[in-house]
Chain A
Amino acid sequence: EPEVTQTPSHQVTQMGQEVILRCVPISNHLYFYWYRQILGQKVEFLVSFYNNEISEKSEIFDDQFSVERPDGSNFTLKIRSTKLEDSAMYFCASMSSGHEKLFFGSGTQLSVL
């Protein structure tokens, strides 16, 4: 089965630093998502992206967050100035048109010190 690939699997950063989390969605998918999961808590929606623009974002996705799809294959999440509370597992997901099934990557564990 095709896979969503995320890199890195683990990222450790200092508070206030910028981080970029990378994702390669499944090639023929058109809808892209970022979710996060704080340890022991439920999966939380961050943002959805379609046709090279954000289609929906949650309250969590504030001005410190941005997404882009720079080259038609990678889908990145940038956190400009990380905070301690940004520590979480970040999941990228993609979905094809007309088939409602999210495919998730294995996640990036972000630790902000």
Chain B
Amino acid sequence: KNQVEQSPQSLIILEGKNCTLQCNYTVSPFSNLRWYKQDTGRGPVSLTIMTFSENTKSNGRYTATLDADTKQSSLHITASQLSDSASYICVVYGGYQKVTFGTGTKLQVIP
């Protein structure tokens, strides 16, 4: 069964600190993996895409990694800001428009 597990489930960090969110997947076939940010009461918005051949990709203060061998991805947030408080969802695309959502990590950045 295709599954995407994320950890931690929730996280509280101080403003300015870094954090890393984890995603493990068992989706097959694999096409690509996206990290989405979901603000409270809003729809998820794509932050970054990782394809099979990519190991690391940065988008501003966000850096995503992918290890296709171990089927793991991480999202690293540098110098966190209060506006980073949101849920972060790992979504794996399996080709033929098949999409599997992760369980999500709820991040709270406090002053």
Contacts and interface: CB of A to CB of B under 8 A. Distances in A.
Interface of A: 4, 31, 33, 35, 42-45, 48, 50, 55-56, 89, 91, 93, 95, 100-102, 104-107, 109
B43 A31 contact: no
Interface residues on B, range: 20 to 34
25 contacts: A31-B97, A33-B99, A35-B101, A42-B101, A42-B102, A42-B104, A43-B38, A44-B101, A45-B99, A45-B101, A50-B97, A55-B97, A56-B98, A89-B41, A91-B43, A100-B31, A100-B93, A100-B95, A100-B99, A101-B46, A102-B91, A104-B44, A104-B45, A105-B43, A107-B41
B41 A95 contact: no
A107 B42 contact: yes
A106 B102 contact: no
A103 to B, nearest CB: 8
Most chain B beta carbons < 10 A, residue from A55, A100, A102? A100
Contact of B46 (A91, A102, A107, A109): A102
Contacts of A33: 99
A39 B97 CA distance: 26
A21 to B, nearest CB: 13
B49 interface: yes
Given A42-B104, A101-B34, A106 B97 contact: no
B108 interface: no
Contacts of B93: 100
A84 to B, nearest CB: 21
